Amino acid sequence: MSFPCRLQVCLGLSLLLSIAANGQQQSPPQPEPAKPSSPQQAQAPDKNQTPDKSKDDQKDGQGKDGPAQTEGTSKDRLFFTLPNFLTLENANQVPPLTAGQKFKVVARSSFDYVQYPWYAFLAGVSQAENSEPGYGQGAAGYGKRFGAAMADGTIENFMTSAVFPAVLRQDPRFFQSGKGGFWHRTAYAVSRTLFTRTDSGNQQVNYSEIIGSALSAGISTYSYHPHSDKTLSNTAKVWGTQVGYDTLTYFVKEFWPDIRRKIRGK
């Protein structure tokens, strides 16, 4: 399988426990500004004495309503590390991405510097569990697992977020809801596996995810994976793993802004 299931389950459970422990916090009431006691105090404050919050926001990748957005994408990172460039917060009305922009942002995410240690970690877990024993053990086996993990992730990213969205004119971005209770938001996040937006803003079956992940599973299974794993049943298993991983990722993306605010104490 292309991604260790045990790692996915641990990530999902960790997120659930974090949300359950902290609960939903309400923003504290903002104090009313003091009324000026003299005409001089009613004047606008000196710009030299006012901190430039916009610069501070840009330094940590935050804009007024969330991660700074460039050309309809973001600069956010899940847990401050993993690329989260196709997630938008509080941005329901945005122009569609062109086909070139879809490929550009997927390439930026797929070949981000963080991906290499991530795939190295996945390869280590796979070797420790001796998954796909046809790869063998030792340095050679680890190298094959690392290459397979990177190829699996890259092919699946391009198929589901660039190739099929460009051909079918579907929007590969995840629009965070941020509204309603925990279960309402969970249902919304999980539903994004089956439904997505078109470039025109309408709702449509997420063919890019369903068909794209199936095709990427077939390409990886019947090309560079061990011969013993080149079966239809294993292809279906890889496909299910990829869809499950993407569903869990949507879930994490939906609640990550809440977790990020709690971590920063905002």
For residue 103, the one-letter residue type is F
Please report which confidence band the pLDDT of residue 265 belongs to, taking 50, 70 and 90 as the band edges: confident
Q: Which helix (H) or strand (E) holds 87?
A: strand 87-88
Place of tokens 């401050």: 80
Among the ranges 36-50, 82-96, 153-167, which has the highest mean pLDDT value?
Answer: 153-167
Cα 61-97-167 angle, rounded to 5 deg: 140
Judge whether 191 and 97 are in contact, CB under 8 Å. no
Cα–Cα distances in Å, from 228 out to 3, 88, 133, 143?
Answer: 18, 41, 9, 18
For 205, the token pair is 């079956």
Cα–Cα distances in Å, from 164 out to 66, 110, 149?
Answer: 28, 16, 21
Judge whether 91 and 67 are in contact, CB under 8 Å. no
Judge whether 91 and 180 are in contact, CB under 8 Å. no
pLDDT, tens digit, 9 for 90 and up, residues 48-67: 444 444 443 334 344 444 45
Please state whether beta strands 82-83 and 87-88 pair in parallel, antiparallel, or not at all (unpaired): unpaired
| Partners of 197 in the β-ladder | 203
pLDDT, tens digit, 9 for 90 and up, residues 31-44: 454 544 444 444 44
